[in-house]
Structure 1
């Protein structure tokens, strides 16, 4: 009997806890620690294939595993580049920093907004992924600051809205409440719940689509 077969009657909340431990303690991408739900990352590549962004802005990179994975998707698409923003990139290995599609910038994402806009052409399509401190105030500030870069049909992904909405971890209020506040004030975006079609997602309401 497999581990899964032993837990077929396990409540979803306990399943989430099992998955969280795996994500936080063991998950890697090309040998680089990657604190990311593989279920959600599958959705990311679907979104990137669908929208074919010229630029992916990843706010919060930590070890850089997901940054490298995003760059590899760009490789497969034959287009696009990744701008990684974090307060520090000292944990990011040389193999990530050396990838030609990756640009890493250190500092506060909102304070660096004008610097980032100079790296983006007016006609570029942009995908933004927010994965920084997860506090309500910071998440809402990042949403307000970077959302104008997303064109109609594009996406702004807010990660870890599962905080206190599936898992008792992280700030409270956190990303989930910031998403609701942002959608309430900005009618140009809606939560695309179809992107949660695997049933389990670390980003409930976090796939924000820019409307036409």
Structure 2
């Protein structure tokens, strides 16, 4: 999706580091603001009962999701991280400490979700291919038909930070090569700039 105009802008935006100086209600959010707009569009459309977020970090994006849920008067967030960094507290947020790619942590997450609940999953923790692929194998099971498995930072190596390859994009390609229940949603490229190219995966089959 990167043409001659978009690729230099990707590199300029990413290398500027401004994405690390972006805040939601005073809490740092390590995301592209255009992806945050996409997130609120998705949440408004789907109104998921549960959002599972792997990778809390400082919790700014978790608070953003909770704020949108407040506006919708619906939804809660389960956010998983290997460290407790004292993230912002909110009634709609449950924080779990653990390795998001471990079976033990996945079972803890799954046990707190009722079978009838509509679930959306966001993967934004360790960005190595091995870790992301393991997360995808586990958490795709939770995603409801018509909802999304969102793999963050597929921009790594495509075109930024090639030294970090193989990364999330490679995990996405491997997963899709083995699983026909998900498809890349090309409508989520509409703003041209996204940190998650080919990372918005729509579940189309039970």
Q: TM-score, normalised by structure 2?
A: 0.92
Once the two structures are superposed, what CA deviation does each residue of 1:104-134 show, in whole Å capped at 9, x if it has no partner?
0111113311111111000001110000111
Instruction: Give the CA RMSD over aligned residues.
Output: 1.4
The equivalent position to 2:175 in structure 1, one of 182, 186, 190, is 182
Residue 19 of structure 1 pairs with residue 19 of structure 2? no
**Offset of residue 68 of structure 1:** 0.1
- Paired residues, number: 198
Once the two structures are superposed, what CA deviation does each residue of 1:156-209 show, in whole Å capped at 9, x if it has no partner?
000000001021256201100100110110000011111111111111110000
Partner of 2:100: 109
Partner of 1:38: 33
Partner of 1:3: none
The answer to whether the 8 A contact 2:6-2:192 is kept is no
Q: Secondary structure at the match of 1:177?
A: helix
Partner of 2:186: 193
The equivalent position to 1:166 in structure 2, one of 148, 159, 180, is 159
- Structure 2: stretches of 5+ with no match in the other structure: none
Q: Secondary structure at the match of 1:161?
A: coil
Partner of 1:7: none
- Structure 1: stretches of 5+ with no match in the other structure: 1-9
Q: Structure 1 182/72 Cα, relative in aligned 2: closer, same or farther at 3 Å? A: same
Query: Using the alignment, how far apart are the partners of 1:101 and 1:199 within structure 2?
Result: 31
- Counterparts in 2 of 1:61-210, with a 5 A limit? 61-92=56-87, 96-97=88-89, 99-111=90-102, 112-168=105-161, 171-210=164-203
**Offset of residue 91 of structure 1:** 4.8
Partner of 1:5: none
Query: Using the alignment, how far apart are the partners of 1:91 and 1:191 within structure 2?
Result: 34
Query: Using the alignment, how far apart are the partners of 2:68 and 2:85 within structure 1?
Result: 24
Q: TM-score, normalised by structure 1?
A: 0.89
